[in-house]
Structure 1
Amino acid sequence: MTETAASVPAGPVQRALDRLADAAIAIAATALVGLVIVQGWQVFTRYVLNDSPSWTEPVTLLLLSTAMSLGAAAGVHTNRHFSFHLLAESLPSVARRLLAVARPLLIAAVGAMIAGWAAVLLLDGLDIKIAGASMPQSINYLPLSISGALICLFALNIAWKALRPAREEGV
């Protein structure tokens, strides 16, 4: 992020996206706590009661998918995802600015593809129930679809912010 973009006060859209990312982090953290509780219960019932419930594995997978997906979306919002900054720093300023816009646009495209295909897979398996739990078989694609949409939204915001300094420097 450039110094110019960092000094611009956050507008209502940025504050809303910040709150959305905070909600994603809170849900991901809650999912991790839930995962620990469910797995703890599964271990207790298996080794102490010798009667392991069948619902713990699908619920654990859903909680893991939720934590991973929403955590990844929040990582895109805070620009803490995997990237190659050394290449960008060695380029001339025009190419660096172009890359600063192209990189989040590529991330947005990947997020849109994840959201779209996960939604297709979610809808495709809604009528099939998971063995041992009264949930649709495709429920694990719900957090993936939501996080794909969030990744797309957050990346488009980063691309927009990368374009803004060019306009503000001329003002």
Structure 2
Amino acid sequence: MTETTTIVPASPAQRALDRLAGIAIAIAATALVGLVVVQGWQVFTRYVLNDSPSWTEPVTLLLLATAMSFGAAAGVHTNRHFGFYLLAERLPAALRRALYVARPLLVAAVGAMLAGWALVLLLDGLDIKIAGAPMPQSINYLPLCIGGALICVFALNKAWQALRLGPVQGA
């Protein structure tokens, strides 16, 4: 039994989410380029100048958290994340539809949990400075908080699409 895919013109909200995902990808890519530059500088100053700066490690960790969080959020938006589709393909249509709705709701719950607890940790360490860099110790939780919120928003959109349109190819 094959299912048909319904093509629906993108709504203004969908176009806004597409733009937001594009911005998330751009931020993740910029963070990766920054990571390469900072680590390159670290290696050069350590092995050529024999005077390694102390700020490179905390900045590297921040860039890594940014690339990971924003990249994961964009992956949720584009369905490029882990999915266990074999089970869904073997279920009856009604259960399959329920699974297509439940799966993004579970992802949204995980994103909301990440955003919430990352915010708690971010706020908890704002007044403590990182050794070697003029940043708060908890700054690495900022991209995790934003990325978790984006994961939640993108997953809720996928759940809404599944409710509205039924099973979608690759959803």
Superposition TM-score, scaled by structure 2 size: 0.94
Q: Which residue of 2 aligns with 1:33?
A: 33
Alpha-carbon distance in structure 2 between the residues aligned to 1:115 and 1:129: 22
Q: How does 1:66-145 map onto structure 2 within 5 Å?
A: 66-145=66-145
Partner of 1:17: 17
Structure 2 CA distance, aligned partners of 1:165 and 1:29? 32
Shift of 1:141: 0.1
Rounded to whole Å, the distance in 1 between the matches of 2:105 and 2:88 is 15
Find the counterpart in structure 2 of residue 150 from structure 1.
Answer: 150
What residue ranges of structure 1 are gaps of 5+ in the alignment?
A: 167-171
SS in 1 for 2:138: coil
Match for residue 65 of structure 2?
65
Aligned equivalent of 2:5 = 3
- Distance in 2, matches of 1:19 and 1:27, equals 12
Between Structure 1 and Structure 2, how many residues are aligned? 164
Change (3 A) 1:30 1:20: same
Structure 2: which 5+ runs fail to align? 167-171
Q: Percent identity?
A: 82
Q: Which runs of 4+ in 1 moved over 6 A?
A: none
Structure 1 position 165, deviation (Å):
1.8
Match of 1:118, as an amino acid? A
Question: Which residue in the other structure is 2:169 paired with?
Answer: none
1:169 aligns with none
AA matched with 2:89:
E
CA shift for structure 1 position 83: 1.1
**Following TM superposition, by how much is the alpha carbon of 1:10 offset from its aligned partner in structure 2, in angstroms?**
0.3
Which string of whole-angstrom CA distances, capped at 9 and with x for unpartnered residues, describes residues 82-107 of structure 1?
Answer: 01000000001100000000000000
Task: Provide the aligned C-alpha RMSD in A.
Answer: 1.1
Deviation of 1:2 after TM superposition, in Å, equals: 6.3
